Amino acid sequence: MILSYSLSYAQGYKPPKRKVVRFKENKIKKRVKSYDHQSGFNLDLAHSTGTKGFDVNFLIGEETKMFTTNYQYFFKKNIGLKVGVGYEYGAPYSIPYEGYYLQVQPVFNLVKFREKLFLNLMGGFSMVHDNYRGLEELNNKLNYGATVGVEGELMMGERLLLLTSFEQKYILGYGRWFWGLGLRYIMF
């Protein structure tokens, strides 16, 4: 066998060159859309199954202000549940008001823009202990109602999101509008 190979080589036969397969790095990066190679962030983390987050918000209403803290869990990709507590205070019609909230809201991620900006739809249940002497239905009573709203998220880092939200709460037929800003920390 060695003799036949050397004879064929001597007669001018050249065996075919082996092709070396090289992967181009750019093609691999394009396939992994949820990973930002410049910053090293996993951008799809915020709405993945099993993702847990904690957020703090400050909201401004027509005549009141509100602080909320929420725990959010995504049980399916882009579908989650937010549970939180809040404190509302102000002086509508110059009468002091306080409200203590418990909220449960399903969250659905509607839009992703360039894997850094997200728009979520929220809606759910609100229970509030109102303390407002100006209205009998809200004077030291436990009331409940519905909440609907939208929430925008901007990825600031792998685990940090800047939030903005617009919500409407319907408690005993009274509408309460809120616009707010907040931060969410992703805990995995």
pLDDT tens digits, 53-106? 999 999 999 999 999 999 999 999 889 999 999 999 999 989 999 999 999 999
CA distances for 114 relative to 44, 121, 123, 182, angstroms: 11, 18, 25, 21
pLDDT at residue 39 tops 60: no
**Structure-block tokens of residue 51:** 């993702």
- pTM greater than 0.75: no
- Domain assignment present for residue 14? The answer is no
d(CA 10, CA 43): 60
CATH code of the domain covering residue 94: 2.40.160.20
Question: What is the structure's pLDDT at 10?
Answer: 56
Name the residue with higher pLDDT: 160 or 24.
160
- Domain assignment present for residue 6? The answer is no
d(CA 74, CA 82): 9
**Structure-block tokens of residue 104:** 């449960």
Question: Could you list the residue range(s) of the whole structural domain that residue 83 is in?
Answer: 39-186
- HEC string of 150-165? EEEEEECCCCEEEEEE
Can you tell me whether residue 51 is helix, strand or coil?
Answer: coil
pLDDT band (50, 70, 90) for residue 12: low
- Domain assignment present for residue 56? The answer is yes
d(CA 85, CA 71): 9
Query: What is the rounded average pLDDT for all residues in the chain?
Result: 82
For residue range 118-166, what is the model confidence (pLDDT) as tens digits? 999 999 999 999 888 888 877 888 999 999 999 999 999 888 999 999 9
Q: H helices then E strands: how many in the chain? A: 2, 10
Number of domains the chain is built from: 1
Pairing of β 52-61 and β 35-36: unpaired
Question: What is the structure's pLDDT at 9?
Answer: 53
The helix (run of H) or strand (run of E) holding residue 8 is helix 2-10
- Domain assignment present for residue 24? The answer is no
Burial class (CB in 10 A: 0-12, 13-18, 19+), 135: middle
**Structure-block tokens of residue 18:** 């082996």
Question: What is the structure's pLDDT at 165?
Answer: 95
Tally Cβ neighbours within 10 Å of residue 95: 11
